[in-house]
Structure 1
Amino acid sequence: MISGVGGFRRSRRRAEEQWQRELLREIRALETTDDSVDVGLDGGTVTPIRGPLPKPPRSRPPRRERVGRVSTDRRRTFATVGVTACVVVALALFNLSPGAAQVRQWLGIGADRLGAAVDGDGRGDYAFLATRRGTDQPIGWSPCDPIEYVVNPDGAPDDWEDLVDEAVTTISEATGLLFDYGGETDDRDFEGRFGIGGRPEPVLVGWADEDEVSGLAGDVAGLAGPMSRGNGLIETYVTGRVVLDQDAFEDLEPAIGTERKQRAIIVHELGHLVGLDHVDDPDELMYAETGVTELGPGDRSGLAILGDTPCA
């Protein structure tokens, strides 16, 4: 009986060992992605077995990724368009070429002209006092702002108001620039036309003699010139002066056609004020020694160009 019980126990132990060995083989056969080391039932270790290799990515990304990328691309496109638009607007604002002025009008930015531009035919001789650096575009007054002026009537002829008004009207119609009369003044500072803080004062029109203004010495009947502000590329006339020789105007009093000649002198000097220089053609009013009393074809061509400069 004893031997029979021992045999049963040995048979049972062999069965348990066989079961453990089969269980161990099954565990070793398992595929796992765990990187840790497992302890076997027999006290040994089981080397981890990596799972199958991941599948290669599909040729088309998941819908969520595609939507995200499209959204990002659209944001980048919108940002690029925005930056481009800002550059265009900046160029239009800071570029003073006639084409850029037209762009500003299309975009609805910047000021508008006060008066209509004048069409010039380009005939005749004309010259400009100054041009913008590196271009053939003349420096001029902003057609979006009036040219403010005041008159000091000391030493002027009795009909000075009519003379000045008619001369200003002539230049305004030839340029499309508008003038704003600020009335009479006792100011006689023909040199410094910038006030406190560099603010431009109105253009000063007045009469003087060579003792007060040395440039009127000799046969000079008048002096005039604009004063600009800017850096060469972006430069605009903002003030100036017109000085008329009171002795020359008095000498013309007895002559036939006095008013016509006096007015012609003022128109000539206002031509300088808006930016015209002398020419060598005696048929033009901007000839240095004025012989004619009306604007010539070259005078009108140059004045039309000066009136069509971009708004400041």
Structure 2
Amino acid sequence: MHQPGGVTPHRSASPRTRDERAGRRSARRPAVLPRRRGRTWRGAPAVGVVVLLMLWFTPGLFQDYALPVIRPYLPNASAPPPGVGAARAPLGAPPVVEDAGGYRFMDSPDPGQPMVAYDPCRPVHYVVRPDGAPPGGGQLVEEAVAEIAAATGLRFVAGGTTTEGPAEQRAPYQPDRYGRQWAPVLIAWADETELPGLAGNVVGLGGSTPRQAPGRPFVYVTGQVVLDAPGLARVLEHPDGAAHVRATVVHELAHVVGLAHVDDPTQMMHPAGGVTSLSAGDRAGLAKLGAGQCVPQL
């Protein structure tokens, strides 16, 4: 349990469960293609039939080449077209920090090496559901995002507000709401009536969803942070409340990018610590998470 300044404890769940060519028309009359006769035109449908037959009788070709292309455009698609927003190189670089341990990673059997991270070649888009946020809550979220961005080197891009509410199993691809791209990370203020996971003394939940392209490493494609609005509003009533609320958001965002809880109470990722700023172990782990692999195939 992470206890903000001894005021309100919290723990974090980590679900594994997101040139127009106006054109000047040419003054010249466009060339007219000659009408062609023979097998070129009459054979085009036949070629299509042959291709369909080849795909039908060689399901491996269909599975490996045709289906990945058409799948994002089928009804109830579960993933966007691959490579949306991907650059050819990482958009930033993590800071150089001393690695003395003191961190653990989500979804990784090796405590010293992350197995899953966000793709550094694309921005981490995020949106905020501000309903019920306490006074100043929006500013604290912005500060927390900036802190995680600086510690990882990942580029976070604000996408404004959303009406999407949190969910225990959030869909990572929501084309009707966010278009044909992975859903942005959701940061939502809520309470236990909306999300039972906030019951008791839990004031924050955070985690991300991993996906994998064939032959490529797993990467996180989206995630969510859920903040207990009533509980954190009470924390803000204390003289150092803002620092503890900011630390709560940073803690949950660190879960989103891939840090897990640790046993060292001097680190922010200790579930019951009162630390309000990132410590050496937190920073070392976050720097590793910012050096993940680019996977444009997703």
TM-score interval for Structure 1 and Structure 2 normalised by the shorter chain: 0.5 to 0.7
Larger radius of gyration: 1
Percent identical pairs in the alignment equals 43
Partner of 2:196: 214
Conserved in 1, the CA contact under 8 Å of 2:115 and 2:218?
no
Higher-RCO chain (CA-CA 8 Å, sequence separation at least 6): 2
* Structure having the larger proportion of residues in helix: 1
Cα distance change, pair 296–202 in 1 and its aligned pair in 2 (3 A): same
User: Are residue 228 (structure 1) and residue 205 (structure 2) matched?
Assistant: no
CA-to-partner distance for each residue in 1:230-270, whole Å, 9 max, x for gaps?
16952110101000011211111221111111100000000
- Tell me, in whole angstroms, the C-alpha distance in 1 between the residues paired with 2:194 and 2:184: 20
- Tell me, in whole angstroms, the C-alpha distance in 2 between the residues paired with 1:192 and 1:257: 36
Match of 1:200 among 182, 186, 210: 182
Partner of 2:287: 304
Conserved in 1, the CA contact under 8 Å of 2:153 and 2:290?
yes
- Tell me, in whole angstroms, the C-alpha distance in 1 between the residues paired with 2:166 and 2:235: 26
Conserved in 1, the CA contact under 8 Å of 2:166 and 2:188?
no
Match of 2:238 among 250, 255, 258: 255
Conserved in 1, the CA contact under 8 Å of 2:205 and 2:226?
yes
Conserved in 2, the CA contact under 8 Å of 1:194 and 1:201?
yes
RMSD: 2.1
CA-to-partner distance for each residue in 1:51-110, whole Å, 9 max, x for gaps?
xxxxxxxxxxxxxxxxxxxxxxxxxxxxxxxxxxxxxxxxxxxxxxxxxxxxxxxxxxx7
Match for 1:301: what amino acid?
A
TM-score (norm 1): 0.61
- CA deviation after TM superposition for structure 1 residue 207, in Å: 0.9
How many residues of Structure 1 are paired with residues of Structure 2 in the alignment? 202
- CA deviation after TM superposition for structure 1 residue 140, in Å: 0.3
The answer for unaligned runs of 5 or more in structure 2 is 1-86
- CA deviation after TM superposition for structure 1 residue 117, in Å: 2.7
- CA deviation after TM superposition for structure 1 residue 292, in Å: 0.7
Match for 2:228: what amino acid?
D
Match of 1:146 among 114, 123, 135: 123
- Tell me, in whole angstroms, the C-alpha distance in 2 between the residues paired with 1:289 and 1:137: 23
Conserved in 2, the CA contact under 8 Å of 1:157 and 1:250?
yes
- Tell me, in whole angstroms, the C-alpha distance in 2 between the residues paired with 1:260 and 1:137: 28
CA-to-partner distance for each residue in 1:274-296, whole Å, 9 max, x for gaps?
00000001100000123110001
Conserved in 1, the CA contact under 8 Å of 2:172 and 2:221?
no
Local SS of the residue matching 1:207: strand
